[in-house]
Amino acid sequence: MPVFLLTDIESSTRLWETFPAQMGWALARHDAILRREIEGHGGRIVKHTGDGVLAVFEGGRPLRCALEVQKALAGENWG
């Protein structure tokens, strides 16, 4: 049975309004972290939603992936 993981950047519209020059870089870094963790834990990205992704896991380790994504995002230097 497939497991789906859906992500979303909280308050992304406000962040774009407040930090327009930095958000392009930040979103690219966010997406790279998600891609690395999702693919590294046996999942694949099905759709980009602008400020998040929809990923599917056919096996793999979706819960571990979600935890590692949170750790990686929290540990990132966002400037």
Read off the pLDDT of residues 19-35 as tens digits, 9 standing for 90 and up: 999 999 999 999 999 99
Ordered by start, the domain boundaries in the chain are 3-75
Cβ 69 vs Cβ 7: under 8 Å: yes
- As a residue count, the chain comes to 79
**Mean pLDDT taken over the chain:** 96
Name the residue among 69, 24, 72, 71 with its Cα closest to residue 43: 69
Give 10's DSSP letter.
T
CATH topology of domain 3-75: Alpha-Beta Plaits (3.30.70)
Answer whether 0.75 is exceeded by the pTM: yes
